[in-house]
Amino acid sequence: MISKSFSFLAARFLCVFAAVFLLSAAAQANPKYASIIMDYQTGKVLHASSADAQRYPASLTKMMTLYMVFEQLDQGKMTLEQPLPVSPRAAGMPPSKLGLRAGETILLKEAIGVLVTRSANDVAVVIAESIAGTEWDFAQLMTRKARQLGLQNTTFRNASGLPDRGQVTTARDMAYLSKALLDHFPHHYKYFSTERFSYRGQTINSTNKLLSRYDGVDGIKTGYINASGFNLAASAVRNGRRIIAVVFGGRTSRSRNDHMVTLLNRGFEKAKQLRVANSITPTGPAAPKPIQLASAAASSSSSDREGQGSSSGISLISKAEASTGDATYPEGDASTSGIWAIQVGAYSNSQSAQSMAGQAAGQVSGLSREHVAVSSTKGSKGSLYRARLIGLEENQAKGACKTLSSEGMECLVVNPSGG
């Protein structure tokens, strides 16, 4: 019995060692290479190789182009049915492209579909010019947004990712951007799962072949220019756990995809050792992440901070701070009506709280965005926004919390007195 257990542990150790060796060897053999693996729930970096070295993003740039589009949609500044004009400059973009002609229009919903599947450069310019007037002005907006999201090592010069010496990023920044898209636009993230898109009778297949190859992958974006090699940002969910991985510098699309499979497998294996309560804040503000509902993470070991540096921007708070305070509830909320609620996070901004509460509502049968509420309170380090689902019966609240916990989402049941 002992011999069998020892053999199993030895075999598992050898598999892990081999994966680490292969990842290290890839970095040494290819100067364009960089990679990172991140656990989405905790923000913990599970692996990093040249993750902060500057690289060319290629079409991973279009992730930020789409971030800007989603922001315009949510702010009511654009609509999916809005026709976007095609300029001569947009029509003249080099491949990959849709083949738009100057003077015609394309609906925004069509532009999004083509951008995530074919990665069309002409469509990226159409979007840029529709939002900012010129692609250069749009690139400046993209860079400004990158700084707001904490992407300190990223600079954009165009909307497509076509070669430009000044357009640089890092694997870590692209992982944070992937997380920001999930955090801020869970209702739009579905576009990245599109395997094929029909445009005016033409079927366009996605360049992201991992969507059909790797169980659980639901995005996010491929990229290639000569200077970058084959890039890929990917996200996958298994058993309620989400992993984000980014790789730069693949020599071919196939070898890049094979390597991404190794990264994701490695990520899910390491994530088994994590507890959701042990949330680590990445260096810099980055994409907003939930502040822990309880203070258990304060005791996490230094080994849990591998590749993270010192925490900043968002701090841990106590359970008392997270669940009480001066709330701004909609009329009839748990604090006054005797109806129960559940809380799924406390955030430093209301947008992140709204997104997480909406995501939680979508995972529980019988709940909808009508149950979503964001309340504010003063924490030890400034204002906090609590993501809650309200208007529940006691059994319903406890059952919903149990469901969310089984999916890896931390949850607190809040009784009518606010406890």
Continuous segment of H or E residues that includes residue 230: strand 229-238
Q: Using CA atoms, how far apart are residues 293 and 390, in angstroms rounded to an integer?
A: 17
Q: Using CA atoms, how far apart are residues 239 and 261, in angstroms rounded to an integer?
A: 17
DSSP string, 244-283: EEEEEEESSHHHHHHHHHHHHHHHHHHHTT--TT---PPS
Phi, psi of 241 (to 5 degrees): -110, 130
- 71-96 core/surface letters (b: 16 or more CB in 10 A; e: else): bbbbeeebeeebebebbeebbebeeb
Helix (H, G, I), strand (E, B) or coil at 121: helix
Q: How many CB atoms lie within 10 A of CB 237?
A: 16
CA distance readout (Å), 29 to 21, 250, 266, 335: 12, 11, 20, 60
CB 263 within 8 A of CB 23: yes
At 378, which amino acid appears? K
- Which burial class, exposed, middle or buried, applies to 217 when counting CB atoms under 10 A from its CB (0-12, 13-18, 19+)? buried
Q: Using CA atoms, how far apart are residues 330 and 322, in angstroms rounded to an integer?
A: 18
Question: What positions carry a catalytic annotation?
Answer: 59, 62, 119
The token pair that represents 129 in the structure block: 């010019």
